[in-house]
A and B are shown apart, each in its own frame.
Chain A
Amino acid sequence: MLPIAKTKIVSFIMMIVLLITAFSSTLISAETDTAENQQNTDNIISLSEYDNGYVDYIAKFDDISRNVQEILLYSGEEKNFAKNQRLDFDVSINEDSLYQISMEYLNTEKRNLDITVYIDGDIPFFEAQSITFPSYWKDSGDKRVDSNGNEFAPEQVLADEYNTVECRDYTGQIAAPYLFYLSKGEHRVSLVLNDGECKFKRIMLKNEENPDPYNSEAIEKDADSYKDVNNVIEIEAEDAFVKSSSALIPKSDDGSADVSPSSPTNAKINYIGGSNWSGQNDEIRWKFNVETAGYYNIAFLYRQTQLNSVSYRHLKIDGKTPFAEAEKIKFKYTVSWNYLKWSENDTPYLIFLSEGEHTLSLSVTAGEYTEIYRQLKELSNDLGDLYIDMTMVIGETVDVSRSYELFNQIPDFNERLKSAADGLEGVAAELERLQEKKGGSNVSTIRNAVEILEKMYNNPYSAHKYKSAYYSSYTNISALLGTITSMPLDIDRIFFIGRDAVNISPKASLIEKIGFGVTRFISSFAGDYAKTEKEENGIQIWVNWGRDQTQVLDSLIQSDFVEKEKVFVTVKLVNASFIQAILSGNGPDVLLQMSRTEPVNLAMRKALVNLEQFDDFDEVITRFQDGATIPFEYNGGTYAIPDSSSFFVMFVRTDILEGLDLQIPKTWQEFIYVMTILQHNNLQVSLPYIQIADSSTVNVGVGGLSLYPTMLVQNGLSLYKDDHTATNLTKEAQIQVFEEWTDMYTKYKVPKTMDFYNRFRIGSAPLGIAVYTLYTQLKAAAPEIEGRWTAVPIPGVVGEDGKINNSSAGSGSGCSITKLSKNPENAWKFLKWWTSASVQLKYSESLESILGPLGRVASSNIEALNNMIWDNDFIEVLNSEINKVTQIPEIPGGYYTARCIDQAFWNVVEQNKIPTDMMLEWGAVADGEISRKRQEYVE
């Protein structure tokens, strides 16, 4: 540890030096602040764009009356709406009013539509910049059955019927469709399609009356005129007509006798919903037929297993809400399947159904939770901004012996704390009211935060001491945001019970349940889950994946590969290594997703087949980025082809960098400049580093473990000698780069370990380099920073030609054919099928529909990667970056290289050793191991 004064002086001088170099190289725009300006601590980040959100917009038009009318902007034959196209509609309005904008459309592409709405050339409120119109999906056919007789969900395809949807919110903040204000006179309404593609038939301005509350007297009176409505209409919920997301697949509960259909011996598809049916406005529609017109009561066999919460659904019949109560039907928490007859105080709600076909729609609505979500999000933003302000004054860690007087340093510090605490307390009270009981985990999370805030403003002189408690309160509240409007629900059956029909009891009786349980237990011995027999030309695949992944793979194989190639394939879920398979002499033909180092390790022991022997090998590898097979090459052969690949990109909190007048760095020089400014404001950056702990981390391969190989390839240097007989670690140029890399940690004090995901969310590490798959995680699980961050290519090195080389060292996995295979030709067919774009895409989409966005696969097939649903700007980054990835070869003894780099690294950054000495010492050790292995296997 350096004394603090010395460290500060050093870093200050460094910063000045860097500032000068940055200015002289004119790489940074001239508007950047001078060092003096940077020292002002009142550099508060404001997010002005959030000030004109929909809530503020609509509040201005409180007293505007709403005239019930429809104004058609377009109606007629179907037209195409292509990406980046703009539609303009001129409309004359008779009276000042508020309108919904709705569109009848049919998706022609899988992506959801993303539309910007302009009124007279302006975006009326922030959210109108990006309004989602979901793509509608349906089952492609009947349920599928696997080789064990278990049913699984049919493939999801785009629906082929038009749907009418209003502009509305999908984040859970606003329950009703958006309203747009149009004054009396001429206006121009414009729609711009940013993403997706569709056809449309009708676009209109609509102003609906709010539905009336249920009028029991009038309805009962009317109902008397229909005699003998005593039939019961039963809908199997899994047979949905359309749904607003491909993730709403029919599901199977094979452990309960209550569901229909159910079987104690095999999995049956029998319900729909689950955690995938939980986001605001996620909709499922069913079609059903009514034979006798009259009044019906609706009932559900449902399950809602999320503790401490209720789920709401908005019910519509034929696109209309029958009465106000149908806007939020409440489903309470249940452990098992539960029968709900929708009623108020034992009086069932009655809905009129005419004879003929009807559509029932249930969509997720957060009900009263929308307001809670909105308030929490605002509070979480405020808390986040305040945290960054505090960090800029205090730094990452608090020096307790110092008096920071935060209330003097940060404007309105105490007021901001107080208002946040009051806001949170209000939310907690409202939550207690809604959940109809005191306490609970959500409420106590909020109350804990309130307590911290109170302590801070009650003890203004020691408020800084609570910084880390404040941080964890903030992250807890942000996490709450992700779950609080989640409204999962499973539905097995929906019933329309005629007014005069006798009551039904759809749940299984006790005797049925016992019978089910006993049969299920007995049949568990009979199932042959480990079919080992091999057919004549069949191939066997071993995977050690999760059950979901395996089932998706198996279903793809059975429905696609087996059909096409007539090759019998068995997929076995085993927890055994390939080594054990070889020892027992009974093993798989094909290995999938082998870790980086494995193919060469096995190939040098002659356990794998050289794939170059197949005629179309050269053609197949064009599916991947150039040189993607380099890590799988050994002794003139190629022993695997890649099936997943990843590389680094840089994640940037744009709001914070803008607040500090910084631009996104494109070179390392700029990166270091930005880093020093950030550090001067007590913020941090993150660089990728994985600690080598066991075989699984060694097997990641050297490229994915740290930034060093990436910096080498950017400098045009290689890690190994061309003939692969030794490393280049002891060469001068390589040592130079090593020093640049370790300087980041020693001179610039980049933290060696940090939880980048959380630090990025809160903003204390607004800049960092990480594997690109973090993008999906941030998109899916960090709603509170949506729109405030971006992912860009990593910084690079300026070459002699003036171009920036920002390539990244690659990592990933491969698939291969083993020597145990009796049918290498068929196994090769399988590998070609598995790495093809359509299969990789289907595999990823199926996983996403089960596991959510986090199930997305880091496919090595470039076409497949391109067709996954990424944001527009990110897909460009992906495309430019994947072609720049430089693969590091794997060689016998190569595991020692990663280790020795790691050893040298820790000696330098933690024990203050000299980089050159360490590289010479450990480079020699790595070379020693490589030559020993070469003696053993190569020479």
Chain B
Amino acid sequence: MQKNKNRINQGISDTVAAYILLAPFIILFFVFTILPVLSSFVLSFCSYDMISAPSFSGLSNYLRMFNGDEVLPKAIVNTLKFSVVTGPVSFLLAFLLAWLINEFGKGMRSFLSFLFYAPALVGNAYFIWQIAFSGDSYGYVNNILISLGFIEEPINWFKNVTYNMPILIFVQLWLSMGVSFLADIAGLQNVNSELYEAGAIDGIRTRWHELWYITLPSMKDILLFGAVMQIQATFSIGAVIKVLAGYPSVNNSVDTIVSHLQDVGIIRYEMGYAAAISVVLFLMMAVTRIVVGKILNSLGK
């Protein structure tokens, strides 16, 4: 009895200690993440201009998405284009690069990791693309093309619907070697090397076999982490595009959900509708996450 009570006391004091230690994070996480998510869900059923108090408006915000917003469908299509290309490509590229770089010695490995991580590290470095693709004849790309005789007049790269999407996808890819790339490198180094020996004994012949049957399955968690980060990143593309191509872009050709959402919320003061769009974006991300999880689970099978 005495023993039991002690154990219970100890159990409680253990958990209390744990909760106290967790409290700072839990509180901050709740106040700054959970609460905003919940409130945006609530706001999506309201009409709210941030100055007057919100008023309940039923499903009207959701109905407006289907009837009365010409930009949103374009924005969704654009976002999907961006994410379908940049998401998987940069995810695979990140892994491939990590795999290759992992083959180098320590010094070279750190140097190359730094090189590929740098664009993500320096924040606003994408401004160089603004100079490179400047519509002026002194913009780098225009100048080179003109001096090589390919074109005669400068092209307004970001204002031309033929070029702006591919260029922005390229810029986005250049930027995307972020967290998932670093995580992949870390993951590769944590694969138990005994597994490779065991695999060699069990009849693995090529590096491809090694990759498929040992490396990838042991890295599943890291890959999932990278994928989640990538999904989040590709669906919330917007800031960079706004700076480079302006908002709205010509014929809304490269506007994304996030840039449209910010426009609705911040410039037009329609927080309720912006919240509704963000809920839809959230659902899109969640579905993609489930699909990607399924795909990653099938690795090595």
Contact = CB atoms under 8 A, between A and B. Distances in A.
Interface of A: 1, 4, 7, 396-401, 465, 468, 471, 579, 582-583, 601-602, 605-607, 691-695, 698, 749, 751-755, 895, 899, 902-903, 906-907, 910-911, 925, 932
B151 interface: yes
A694 B266 CA distance: 10
A811 to B, nearest CB: 18
A753 B134 contact: yes
Interface in B116-167: 134-138, 143, 146-149, 151-154, 156, 159-161
Contacts of A691: 246
Contact of A899 (B136, B242, B248): B248
B160 A693 contact: no
A397 B159 contact: no
A602 B51 contact: yes
B14 interface: no
Interface residues of B, number: 35
B164 to A, nearest CB: 10
B153 A749 contact: yes
A1 B153 contact: yes
Given A695-B267, A903-B250, A397 B156 contact: no
Nearest to A753: B135
Given A398-B146, A895-B267, A899-B248, A910 B152 contact: no
Interface of B: 49-52, 68, 70, 134-138, 143, 146-149, 151-154, 156, 159-161, 242-243, 246-248, 250-251, 266-269
Q: Which of A399, A694, A907 has the most CB of B within 10 A?
A: A694
A881 to B, nearest CB: 28
Contact of B156 (A752, A902, A907, A932): A752
A395 to B, nearest CB: 10
Contacts of A1: 151-153
A545 B70 CA distance: 37
Nearest to B152: A4
Given A602-B51, A695-B266, A751 B154 contact: yes
Contacts of B138: 468, 471, 755
Given A605-B51, A754-B136, A399 B153 contact: no
26 contacts: A1-B151, A1-B152, A397-B137, A397-B143, A397-B147, A399-B149, A401-B149, A465-B147, A468-B138, A579-B269, A601-B269, A605-B52, A692-B246, A694-B243, A695-B266, A751-B137, A751-B154, A752-B159, A895-B267, A902-B248, A903-B251, A906-B159, A910-B156, A911-B160, A925-B70, A932-B68
A809 to B, nearest CB: 21
B250 A579 contact: no
A754 B149 CA distance: 21
Nearest to B244: A693
A867 to B, nearest CB: 38
Contacts of A398: 146-147
A693 B146 contact: no
Nearest to B268: A895
B103 to A, nearest CB: 41
A907 B250 contact: yes
Contacts of A471: 138
A786 B146 CA distance: 33
Contacts of B154: 397, 751
A752 B135 contact: yes
Given A698-B267, A752-B156, A925-B70, A396 B50 contact: no
Given A397-B152, A399-B152, A691-B246, A910 B159 contact: yes
Given A692-B248, A910-B160, 20 more contacts: A397-B137, A398-B146, A399-B152, A400-B148, A400-B149, A579-B269, A602-B51, A605-B51, A695-B267, A698-B267, A751-B154, A752-B159, A895-B267, A899-B248, A903-B248, A906-B250, A907-B251, A911-B160, A911-B250, A932-B68
B248 A606 contact: no
A449 B248 CA distance: 42
A1 B145 CA distance: 14
A614 to B, nearest CB: 23
B248 A753 contact: no
Nearest to A3: B152
B292 to A, nearest CB: 32
Contacts of A695: 266-267
Contacts of A400: 147-149
Nearest to B148: A400
Contacts of A753: 134-136, 156
Q: Which of A582, A605, A606, A906 has the most CB of B within 10 A?
A: A906
A312 B265 CA distance: 57
Given A468-B138, A925-B70, A910 B242 contact: no
Contacts of A911: 160-161, 250
A755 to B, nearest CB: 7
